[in-house]
Amino acid sequence: MNAPHPPKVAGIDPTVPTPAHTVAPASPTHDAGPSADTTPSVPAPAAPAPGALLQDRLAGWVSDLTTLHELTERLCRTDALEPALEELLRAGSALVGARRGLVVLEPGDGLGPRTTLGLGLGRADLGHMETVPRGSLPYGALLDTGANTGSGTNTATSTGTSAEIVHADLLAEDGLDPRHREVAARLGYAASYALPLSAASGRLGAAVWLYDEPAEPDEHRRHLIGLYVRHAAEHLALLVEVERARARTATITEELLPSRLPRVPGVQLAARHRTGPRGGGDWYDALPLPDAALGLSVGSVTGSGPSAVAAMGRLRASLRAYAVMEGEDPVAVLSDLELLLRLTEPARSATALFAYCEPALRKVTLAGAGHSPPLLIGERRTEFAETSVSAPLGMLACWEAPSVEVQAEAGETVLLYTDGLLHRTGDPMDRAFARLHAAAASIPRSLRSDPGAMADHVLRTVLPGGLDAADSEEDVVLLAARFD
């Protein structure tokens, strides 16, 4: 056991440097008479000017407020949960003078989201900390009960609804959990300072900063970090609600889409779907039809959010009914769908593409309403089907467009997609179409027997550099049908 020694006080590395406020010393006066002693003398320290102490104190307050204003402004510019947590850790690190830290998001209502994020700690480091018994972690008591606990040199204080847990010298504590001692030695931290994340809506989690040597923030630094964390917790509470709303919308969207694709002899199917943060109205469907036929559809309802998701569900369900009754005539299917949309939801429009597939003949009859043409991918050709240009559903008094027949060869794949795939690229439409064509043409031969692998390749190639991230504004749908 290490010998106990007095902890030092951690300083602060402010993001805004504190201006120096000094008072110039009064100039010494000398007697110019002939009897004056010419030997230089050390002037006595000048007394502070009236109000100098008050001026310095006010200057310190202004500096603190400036620092907090800059940090909270940077935090408020974050619009997603993970960047906000990262900013919280960086700002807290500067305020308490610690190099590393972690934040545990664990809302008290149990509804999530739950996550752990580290500053200066890798995934393996966080994994080591998770092996420590929860009650022995530097922040464990804040998550379990929020009550103040203490053992050894650990101190915990509480003011109102805020609390803190300070381990000024972990390795010198008699009651430290052996596993915690082992992990602290492995990761190289000797002290910690933890604060709860609590908002008006309840507990959100806890944040802890780790010191490489025995240390603790002084009272002034604790006051600053307390002010900052209280503001940060309210901002995080709003982002948690946004994240929950996004998750609920995404869940509803997924439930409105097929949970699995049908198995139809002569054709293999695969689908990929990416939902935007507000929830969009893109859909896909694959429906077995009489006479061993197959109906394929993709489409997009205008708008975003729960109303667009609900409209998408109604439109997709209606299209399935029309496909069962008259699927062999795609123009009739879309005409009925357009009439329904115009009568029941006159303020909304949609694009759609419906394809009637006969796998035994490898023949596809399709019609589109303002939708991008499907892509035919094979060993000897990669080309867009030449569908006629037509208006979206709900835009004209009466929609009408001719159908197109596509004859596929054995081993060829028909790729249906929504416009979100093109919009996520950020390119003009002509370049986006060229990018999609190049991505389809570059599919390796080893992947062409698997429509799912082909769809994944197209996504990775068309949307590189994170454009396929879940928080993109546009929905994306890919539906691939490979004919045997």
DSSP string, 442-459: T--GGGTT-HHHHHHHHH
Q: What is the pLDDT of residues 329-353, one digit of tens each?
A: 999 999 999 999 988 888 889 999 9
Domain 57-247: assigned CATH number = 3.30.450.40
Give the whole-angstrom CA distance, residue 210 versus residue 193.
Answer: 7
Q: Report which of residues 36 and 475 the model is more confident about.
A: 475
Sequence spans of domains, the chain: 57-247, 257-483
Band the pLDDT of 28: cuts 50, 70, 90: very low
Q: What is the pLDDT of residues 104-131, one digit of tens each?
A: 999 988 888 999 999 999 999 999 999 9
Location of structure tokens 């946004």: 242
Location of structure tokens 């940077």: 74
230 has a pLDDT exceeding 80: yes
- Residue 192 pLDDT: 94
Residues 6+ apart with CB under 8 A from 339: none
User: Please, what's the largest Cα pairwise distance for the chain?
Assistant: 128
Band the pLDDT of 216: cuts 50, 70, 90: very high
CATH of 257-483, one of 3.40.50.2000, 1.10.3720.10, 3.60.40.10, 1.25.40.340: 3.60.40.10
What's the whole-model pTM score?
0.67
Nearest to 145 by CA among 99, 106, 93: 106
- Residue 156 pLDDT: 41
Per the structure block, which two tokens stand in for 366?
Answer: 């399709």
